[in-house]
Amino acid sequence: DTGVSQDPRHKITKRGQNVTFRCDPISEHNRLYWYRQTLGQGPEFLTYFQNEAQLEKSRLLSDRFSAERPKGSFSTLEIQRTEQGDSAMYLCASSPPGNTEAFFGQGTRLTVV
Amino acid sequence: KQEVTQIPAALSVPEGENLVLNCSFTDSAIYNLQWFRQDPGKGLTSLLLIQSSQREQTSGRLNASLDKSSGRSTLYIAASQPGDSATYLCAVRLTGGGSYIPTFGRGTSLIVHP
């Protein structure tokens, strides 16, 4: 499968714990986006990477959230001290150079109990 | 700030009907618009991408149109089938800045019953 891959698909964690999600974009895609989606809503933008540089961050990305894309390949999204309000689907998308069409992964469903 | 609105929020129709889903956006300086399909609990699947210079795109039973001046796009689904049941999302990218970050609407939840 050469699509965008996200791991894990599901995560249940206790409030206050830290969690980390991984996204592997399509090979040679230089743009990578993270979104959060809650039930009945559209995806909300969190952060954007071009290669290894994090170029934009939403105000939704509080100081408990951090994202990295070392070497411009896979990306990780970490949430520290999780809260119940963090429960959502976290989606990753990538786009190739010279083309803005976005390809999404299957998402990571986070449940904070 | 770009705002994207999708109407209706939900739609339930019998199989075989032709459907029109609407997407409107507030800033007409768009780079392109992309329609997606999302099945429950899944990621997004790209359906159609319309560049700002285009008026429409077609793929099988799907046709998407774009009217930048009025800030509207429509997704037309011909001869709907139960397998079309899903949430349909539109996403708009603005020109400038170079990031081309898609802004999404809330989606239209479609149920096609046999």
Could you tell me which of A96, A111, A107, A92 has the C-alpha nearest to residue A29? A96
Summary mean pLDDT of chain B: 93
Q: What is the DSSP track for chain B? A: ---EEEE-SEEEEETT--EEEEEEES---EEEEEEEEE-TTS-EEEEEEEETT-SEEEETTEEEEEETTTTEEEEEE-S--GGG-EEEEEEEEESSSS----EE---EEEEEE-
| Interval B5-16 mean pLDDT | 96
| CA nearest to B48, candidates B86, B11, B76, B6 | B76
The amino acid occupying position A45 is F
Give the model confidence (pLDDT) of A26-59 as tens digits.
998 999 999 999 999 999 999 999 999 999 999 8
pLDDT of residue A86: 97
B108 inside 8 A of chain A by CB? no
Dist CA B104 CA A44 (whole Å):
7
The pLDDT, as a whole number, for residue B97 is 65
Tens-place pLDDT, residues A53-79: 999 999 888 899 999 999 889 999 999
Are the C-beta atoms of residues A103 and A95 closer than 8 Å to each other?
Answer: yes
Cα B72 to chain center, whole Å? 10
Could you read off the pLDDT of B19-47 as tens digits, one per residue? 999 999 998 889 999 999 999 989 999 99
Chain A residues contacting B via beta carbons under 8 Å:
4, 6, 31, 33, 35, 40-45, 48, 50, 55-56, 89, 91, 93, 95, 100-107, 109
pLDDT above 70 as % of chain B = 96
Nearest CB to B99 within list A55, A104, A109:
A55
Band of the pLDDT at A99, cuts 50, 70, 90? confident
At residue A66, the pLDDT reads 96
Helix (H, G, I), strand (E, B) or coil at A86: helix
Give residue for tokens 């290669």.
A51
pLDDT over 80 (residue A1): no
> What is the per-residue pLDDT for A38?
96
Which pLDDT band holds residue B96 (cuts at 50, 70, 90)?
A: low
* A2 pLDDT above the threshold of 80: no
**Hey, what are A20's tokens?**
């980390």
Question: A111 pLDDT exceeds 60?
Answer: yes
Find which of B5, B37, B101, B103 to mutate to test the A interface (most A CBs within 10 Å of its CB): B101
pLDDT at B95: 78
Q: For residue A104, give how far its alpha carbon lies from the nearest alpha carbon of chain B (Å).
A: 6
Closest-CA residue to A88 (of A63, A60, A55): A60
Mean pLDDT of A14-18: 98
> Which residues in chain A are contacts of B86 at CB distance < 8 A?
none
Chain A residues with CB under 8 Å of B6 CB are 42
Give me the mean pLDDT over the B78-107 stretch: 90
Over 70: is that where the pLDDT of B66 sits?
A: yes
Strands A103-104 and B72-77, how do they pair? unpaired
